[in-house]
């Protein structure tokens, strides 16, 4: 974890309703400063950041606005008495403007696909957590353990009792037009080298660098992707 990431997480986590986990999620989504978060809308934050809904996004933006309105406490200057002549005033430091926030690229989608993505997100937000039957009775399992279909003769979960955990069913599935698409709307394409970038369409496809790719090759892939206008879904800390 870099110093910039530590400073960002420490600052953002002070906002109401935001902890270290949400701050890290903002960092993973590509936000590197409070200014970038402020310039985004609540809808963009809810779409880009995992675990952040519209209400929390509004609370984050309101918290940033409240921080700006707070007046800093006046600093008390300590003047040392000296017999020497007053030193010449130092030249005013140059104010360096921060780099402007570059918005994330968005795919060229038709209205039907955009509508399908919205419906899929709404279904996913309302979807229950699918857990393994009686996972709490076994120490080797946790709540996020892999789901298994209940097959017991007297299983209340198999019988769909009201108090039992929900089973995986086809009714929870999203629209067919949105299947296989990244939440941003791009088609997720796995990339292993720079030659794979030639086959991507920047308007509809985004690159996901394979986990086995080394750091040196990953930097080359990111550089060529930026030149070709291809969005990289997992640039990590090696991106420039």
For residue 142, give every residue at least 6 positions away whose Cβ sits within 8 Å of its Cβ, in sequence order, or none: 135
Residue 90: the pLDDT is: 52
What does the alpha-carbon distance between residue 103 and residue 81 come to, in Å, rounded to a whole number?
A: 53
Residue 75: the pLDDT is: 56
Chain center to CA of 21: 11
Residue 93: the pLDDT is: 45
Please give the average pLDDT of every successive group of 10 residues along the chain, which has 240 residues. Answer: 70 71 74 74 73 75 68 53 51 50 77 90 87 82 82 91 89 87 91 93 92 92 92 77
What does the alpha-carbon distance between residue 116 and residue 175 come to, in Å, rounded to a whole number?
A: 6
* Assessment of whether the complete model's pTM goes beyond 0.75: no
What does the alpha-carbon distance between residue 50 and residue 22 come to, in Å, rounded to a whole number?
A: 8
Domain boundaries of the chain, sorted by first residue: 3-69, 131-167
- Class of domain 3-69 as given by CATH: mainly alpha
Q: With CA atoms as reference, report the closest residue to 12 among 54, 71, 52.
A: 52
Residue 96: the pLDDT is: 45
Residue 1: the pLDDT is: 58
Residue 101: the pLDDT is: 59
Distances (CA, A) of 54 to 47, 164, 240: 9, 30, 30
């Amino acid at each position: 974890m870099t110093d910039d990431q530590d400073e960002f997480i420490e600052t953002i986590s002070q906002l109401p309703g935001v902890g270290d986990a949400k701050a890290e999620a903002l960092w993973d989504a590509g936000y590197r400063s409070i200014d970038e978060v402020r310039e985004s809308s609540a809808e963009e934050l809810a779409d880009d950041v995992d675990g952040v809904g519209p209400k929390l996004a509004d609370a984050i933006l309101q918290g940033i606005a409240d921080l700006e309105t707070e007046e800093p406490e006046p600093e008390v200057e300590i003047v040392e008495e000296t017999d020497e002549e007053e030193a010449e005033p130092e030249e005013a430091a140059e104010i360096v403007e921060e780099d402007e926030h570059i918005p994330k690229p968005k795919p060229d989608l038709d209205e039907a696909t955009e509508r399908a993505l919205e419906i899929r997100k709404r279904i996913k937000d309302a979807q229950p957590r699918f857990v393994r039957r009686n996972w709490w009775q076994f120490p080797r399992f946790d709540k996020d353990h892999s789901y298994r279909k209940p097959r017991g003769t007297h299983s209340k979960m198999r019988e769909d009792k009201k108090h039992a955990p929900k089973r995986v069913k086809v009714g929870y599935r999203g629209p067919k037009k949105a299947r296989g698409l990244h939440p941003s709307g791009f088609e997720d394409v796995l990339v292993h080298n720079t030659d794979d970038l030639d086959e991507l369409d920047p308007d509809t496809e985004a690159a996901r660098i394979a986990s086995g790719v080394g750091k040196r090759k990953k930097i080359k892939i990111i550089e060529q992707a930026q030149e070709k206008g291809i969005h990289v879904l997992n640039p990590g800390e090696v991106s420039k």
